[in-house]
């Protein structure tokens, strides 16, 4: 595993544990993509740098696979970079200059420099290897070494080229508010398919993750090329299949309504676009992404700490929060074994509904006469940490902040600002607003014993105007907002390293690896209906680790679709990620409280396996009546199986569930109602499976298996 360079230093072999990625320079000093996939035995096996024959209408640049193509010359594919020089030249030339090998946080990294020799614009293509998970992180650093400004109109993080096959199948995640991360699969047509967000946030509608296979891969078999973007603003990923059935996948910041003025001596760094390859199906691809996130994305301070069981009363009380009510809920939550109590919306300003108060981040003394201190101490005395909801990027027109600074919101002159949820977006492109938000957040964390922040963002952008900025910077707001937002979080995290941050945006509207570099978990969806959640959580699992996924036990019937399911079922669904309780505990019966206490204590026993183990989607939601998800710990001696029955039809036999990821001759013990203690080998559990006894509608079970000492009845 390493980055190898051939003798004449014109070819790079980027090797991870099980894959290799090859780039070369041709005679015209273009950087060509040569190979991506399985390792081959001999150097001579790898494709050579092409010098294809040109035809009219099919010139050289159209035929080769350019590693990072400029818009210039005879080129028509989605470019990596498009610029306008100050003299209005719009033709960009990028030629190979040199390369550098470095280590970034202990990971081997290759930087290849391309340059436009006339204008002295330098582009550094970076490849950071995540060797054990067969992933490459790519990003681009562009530096203006000339003496004129350059206007960037498009700058993507990477272009990936797949091996040529006849039919590419794309898997991606789509959705909407309260219905995020649904998996969809489609054959890629000739031409372009674009996934994107133009809403200022990652969005509920598409998530910046993809997987491409030949249409035949499944959970355990087949070659998958997959990728994920680390950006929380406007993004796009363009899948472009040309008439020779070659697929280029180009992605990064969305160029829609974007431009950036790069002055002399300035740099622009794109977000990371991470991609990987596996020959072992979708399950392996997901597990690699999960472990990559735990080891490389989540904050080093908290990545391997177990997530606490959380209580949040949003669904139970909505804006109707006050000291007395929250204390009562806190007592109940503590009696169940909850470890973190979070106060949601409604605690500040004149925030009695969603029409007022956003922006006024001082405690509402009518609701909390003893400030927050009294509630926090009470929560701490009950043995729980305290957390708080905020939505710092927003303002209601009906607020002191808006009255003071009506010009702080994005707006165009001569145009009204469209409100959504009665709120407007603060212009984080402005330094003073970034400072203002940092200051009040920092004060909150300095003044109170707050161990958790739920950072919300409840509307997409509109009228993205910034009237007092120079003309040349008007279209920079999409990127500057995200940069300002990241800056606040980065500063807060370094000052308050022990505070856990949760990202929420009307549920799952801002879930991506950019935000996860700065937060610990996400509010997966505002939809907490346990049955709906099976699909949302399953889609989520293709791209993100279970530990990141907050999963909720709320009241039944569910407020969104009025479905009724048992408390046990609701718990079992929520225990597949990081567990949160959000029901109105004042209304739970003694029997429900007892059941909840038992489930929380069961979760504490298994959460390490769920949060840090390997996840297997055994029976997906699309396959019928049964859904099964399994988690196996690192040593493969502890296993948790979650099984859900939708509705039983008389006469329909439930087939045994075949486990995965176990050690063949290790013995595993579990309990079932019919036989009591059962001991079977890993091989038997994989080959024959395990019978689950589920009945009726919306039944479910959690089965825990543990390694037992081997016995002496081996027959083979």
Rounded distance between C-alpha atoms, residue 654 and residue 674, angstroms:
15
Residue number with CB closer to ligand GLA (323 or 526): 526
Q: How far is the CB of 424 from ligand GLA (least distance, A)?
A: 15
The residue at minimum Cβ distance from ligand GLA is 345
Count of residues that interact with ligand GLA, criterion CB under 6 A: 11
Please, which residue, 283 or 508, has the CB nearer to ligand GLA?
Answer: 508
Mask for 2-41, x = binds ligand GLA (CB under 6 A): ----------------------------------------
Query: Stretches 285-293, 501-509, 538-546, 704-712: which one binds ligand GLA (CB under 6 A)?
Result: 501-509
Interacting residue with ligand GLA among 456, 476, 502, 555 (CB under 6 A): 456
**For 230-384, where are the E strands, in sequence order?**
235-241, 247-253, 260-262, 267-269, 273-278, 310-312, 340-343
Comparison of 35 and 523: residue with beta carbon closer to ligand GLA: 523
- For ligand GLA, the closer of residues 237 and 504 by Cβ is 504
> Which amino acids are annotated catalytic?
456, 526
Work out how close the CB of 525 gets to ligand GLA at its nearest, in angstroms, rounded to a whole number: 8
- Residue where the block lists tokens 């993205």: 464
Q: Which is nearer to ligand GLA, 474 or 584 (CB)?
A: 584
> Which of 66, 339, 344, 699 forms a contact with ligand GLA (CB under 6 A)?
344
Would you state the torsion angle of the CA atoms of residues 40, 41, 42, 47, taken in this order, to the nearest 10 degrees?
Answer: -10
Calpha distance 344→321 (Å, rounded): 8
Work out whether 523 is an interface residue with ligand GLA (CB under 6 A).
Answer: yes
State in angstroms the smallest separation of the CB of 456 from ligand GLA: 5
What is the bridge-based pairing of β-strands 179-187 and 224-229? Answer: unpaired
458 binds ligand GLA (CB under 6 A): yes
Name the one range near ligand GLA by CB under 6 A: 483-491, 503-511, 624-632, 694-702.
Answer: 503-511
Three-state SS string over 131-162 comes to HHHCEEEEEEEEEECCCCCEEEEEEEEEEEEC
Smallest distance from ligand GLA to CB 355, Å: 11
Strand-pair category, 121-130 with 135-144: antiparallel
Distance CA 400, CA 403 (A): 5
CB 120 within 8 A of CB 131: no
Only segment of 160-168, 270-278, 502-510, 538-546 that touches ligand GLA (CB under 6 A): 502-510
Task: Please report whether residue 555 would count as binding ligand GLA according to CB under 6 A.
Answer: no
Nearest of 524, 526, 589, 530 to residue 563 by alpha carbon: 530
Check residue 64 and report its DSSP letter. S
Tell me if 502 contacts ligand GLA by CB under 6 A: no
Inter-residue contact 244 to 548 (CB < 8 Å): no
Please tell me the number of Cα atoms within 13 Å of 391 on its side-chain side: 30
Question: Smaller CB distance to ligand GLA: residue 401 or 640?
Answer: 401
Give, as ranges, the residues between 433 and 452 that touch ligand GLA (CB under 6 A).
none
- Looking at 70, 276, 507, 514, which residue binds ligand GLA (CB under 6 A)? 507
First CA to last CA across the chain, in angstroms? 37
Closest approach, Cβ 526 to ligand GLA, in A, equals: 5
Nearer of residues 114 and 358 to ligand GLA, judged by Cβ: 358
**Least Cβ distance, residue 511 to ligand GLA (angstroms):** 12
Q: How far is the CB of 199 from ligand GLA (least distance, A)?
A: 15
Question: Candidates 263-271, 460-468, 499-507, 639-647 — which segment interacts with ligand GLA by CB under 6 A?
Answer: 499-507
55/32 Cα distance (integer angstroms)? 19
Beta bridge partners of 179: 176
**Interatomic CA distance for residues 114 and 223, integer angstroms:** 31
Task: Work out how close the CB of 178 gets to ligand GLA at its nearest, in angstroms, rounded to a whole number.
Answer: 9
Q: Any contact of residue 360 with ligand GLA (CB under 6 A)?
A: no
Q: Is 345 in the site for ligand GLA (CB under 6 A)?
A: yes
User: Which one of 506, 546, 583, 661 is in contact with ligand GLA (CB under 6 A)?
Assistant: 506
In angstroms, give the least distance from the CB of 387 to ligand GLA.
12
Q: What are phi and psi of 219, to 5 degrees?
A: -60, -35
Hey, is 658 helix, strand or coil? coil
Residue 314 engages ligand GLA in binding (rule: CB under 6 A)? yes
The reply on whether position 522 binds ligand GLA by CB under 6 A is no
Q: Which is nearer to ligand GLA, 345 or 476 (CB)?
A: 345
Q: Interface with ligand GLA by CB under 6 A: which range of 74-82, 266-274, 480-488, 500-508?
A: 500-508
Task: Please state, in angstroms and rounded to a whole number, the distance separating the CA atoms of residues 184 and 336.
Answer: 38
Q: Binder to ligand GLA among 66, 240, 360, 526 (CB under 6 A)?
A: 526
Residue 335 DSSP label: H
- 583 counts as binding ligand GLA under rule CB under 6 A: no
Q: How far is the CB of 607 from ligand GLA (least distance, A)?
A: 22
212 close to 226: Cβ distance less than 8 angstroms: yes
Degrees, nearest 5: CA angle 60-65-70: 80
Residues between 388 and 417 that touch ligand GLA (CB under 6 A) = 389
Quote the Cα angle for 214-218-222, to 5°. Answer: 55
Q: How far is the CB of 298 from ligand GLA (least distance, A)?
A: 21
b or e along 119-129 (b: 16 or more beta carbons within 10 Å of the residue's beta carbon)? bebbbbbbbbb
At a CB cut-off of 8 Å and minimum separation 6, what does 34 contact? 11, 22, 23, 24, 46, 47, 48, 49, 65
Can you read off the two tokens belonging to residue 250? 């180009």
Burial label for 298, CB within 10 Å (0-12, 13-18, 19+), is: buried
Which CB atom, from 390 or from 641, has the smaller least distance to ligand GLA? Answer: 390
**CA 608, CA 184: separation in Å to the nearest integer?**
30
The nearer residue to ligand GLA, 388 or 567, going by C-beta atoms, is 388
Strands 107-116, 121-130: pairing is antiparallel
User: Can you give the C-alpha Rg of the chain in angstroms?
Assistant: 27
| Choice between 314 and 378, CB closer to ligand GLA | 314
* Contacting positions for ligand GLA (CB under 6 A): 314, 344-345, 389, 456, 458, 504, 506-507, 523, 526
């Amino acid at each position: 595993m390493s980055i190898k360079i051939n003798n004449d230093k014109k070819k790079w072999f980027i090797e991870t544990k099980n894959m290799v990625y090859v780039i070369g320079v041709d005679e015209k000093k273009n950087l060509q993509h040569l190979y991506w996939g399985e390792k081959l035995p001999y150097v001579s096996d790898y494709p050579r740098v092409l010098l294809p024959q040109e035809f009219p209408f099919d010139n050289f640049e159209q035929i080769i696979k350019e590693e990072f193509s400029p818009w210039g010359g005879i080129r028509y594919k989605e470019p990596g970079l498009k610029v306008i020089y100050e003299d209005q030249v719009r033709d960009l030339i990028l030629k190979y200059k040199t390369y550098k090998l470095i280590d970034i946080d202990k990971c081997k990294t290759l930087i290849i420099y391309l340059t436009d020799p006339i204008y002295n614009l330098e582009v550094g293509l970076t490849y950071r290897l995540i060797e054990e998970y067969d992933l490459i992180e790519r990003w681009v650093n562009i530096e203006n070494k000339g003496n004129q400004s350059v206007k960037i109109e498009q700058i993507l993080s990477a272009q990936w080229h797949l091996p040529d096959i006849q039919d590419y199948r794309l898997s991606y995640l789509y959705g909407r508010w309260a219905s995020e991360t649904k998996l969809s699969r489609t054959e890629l047509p000739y031409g372009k398919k674009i996934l994107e967000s133009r809403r200022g946030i990652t969005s509920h509608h598409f998530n910046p993750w993809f997987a491409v296979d030949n249409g035949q891969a499944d959970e355990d078999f087949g070659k998958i090329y997959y990728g994920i973007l680390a950006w929380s603003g406007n993004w796009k990923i363009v899948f472009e299949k040309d008439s020779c059935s070659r697929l280029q996948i180009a992605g990064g910041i969305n160029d829609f309504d974007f431009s950036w003025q790069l002055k002399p001596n300035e740099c622009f760094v794109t977000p990371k676009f991470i991609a990987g390859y596996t020959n072992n199906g979708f399950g392996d691809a997901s597990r690699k992404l999960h472990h990559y996130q735990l080891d490389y994305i989540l904050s080093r301070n908290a990545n391997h700490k177990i997530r606490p069981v959380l209580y949040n009363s949003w669904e139970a009380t909505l804006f109707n929060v006050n000291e007395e009510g929250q204390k009562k809920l806190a007592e109940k939550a503590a009696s169940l074994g909850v470890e973190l109590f979070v106060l949601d919306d409604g605690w500040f300003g004149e925030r009695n509904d969603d029409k007022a108060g956003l922006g006024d981040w001082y405690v509402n003394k009518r609701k909390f006469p003893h400030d927050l201190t009294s509630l926090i101490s009470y929560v701490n005395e009950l043995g729980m940490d305290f957390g708080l909801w905020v939505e710092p990027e927003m303002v209601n027109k009906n607020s002191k902040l808006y009255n003071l600074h009506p010009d702080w919101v994005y707006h165009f002159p001569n145009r009204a600002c469209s409100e959504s949820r009665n709120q407007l977006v603060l212009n984080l492109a402005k330094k003073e607003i970034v400072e203002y938000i940092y200051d009040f957040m920092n004060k909150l964390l300095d003044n109170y014993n707050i161990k958790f922040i739920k950072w919300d963002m409840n509307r997409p952008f509109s009228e993205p105007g910034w009237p007092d900025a120079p003309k040349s910077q008007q279209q920079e707001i999409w990127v500057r907002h995200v940069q300002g937002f990241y800056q606040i979080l980065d500063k807060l995290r370094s000052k308050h390293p022990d505070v856990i941050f949760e990202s929420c945006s009307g549920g799952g509207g801002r879930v991506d690896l950019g935000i996860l570099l700065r937060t610990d978990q996400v509010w997966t969806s505002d939809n907490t209906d346990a049955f709906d959640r099976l699909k949302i959580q399953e889609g989520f699992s293709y791209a993100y680790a279970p530990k990141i996924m907050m999963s909720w036990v709320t009241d039944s019937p569910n407020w969104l679709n009025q479905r009724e399911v048992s408390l046990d079922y609701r718990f079992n669904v929520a225990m597949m990620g990081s567990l949160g309780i959000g029901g109105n505990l004042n209304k739970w019966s003694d029997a429900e409280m007892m059941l909840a206490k038992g489930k929380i204590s069961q979760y504490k026993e298994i959460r390490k396996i769920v949060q840090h183990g390997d996840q297997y989607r055994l029976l997906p939601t699309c396959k019928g009546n049964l859904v099964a998800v399994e988690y196996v710990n690192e040593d493969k001696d502890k296993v948790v199986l979650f099984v859900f029955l939708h509705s039983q039809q008389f006469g329909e036999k439930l087939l045994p569930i075949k486990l995965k990821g176990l050690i063949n001759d290790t013995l595993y013990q579990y309990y079932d109602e019919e036989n009591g203690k059962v001991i079977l080998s890993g091989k038997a559990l994989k080959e024959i499976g395990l019978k689950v006894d589920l009945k009726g509608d919306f039944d479910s079970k959690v089965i825990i298996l543990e390694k037992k000492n081997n016995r002496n009845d081996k027959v083979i």
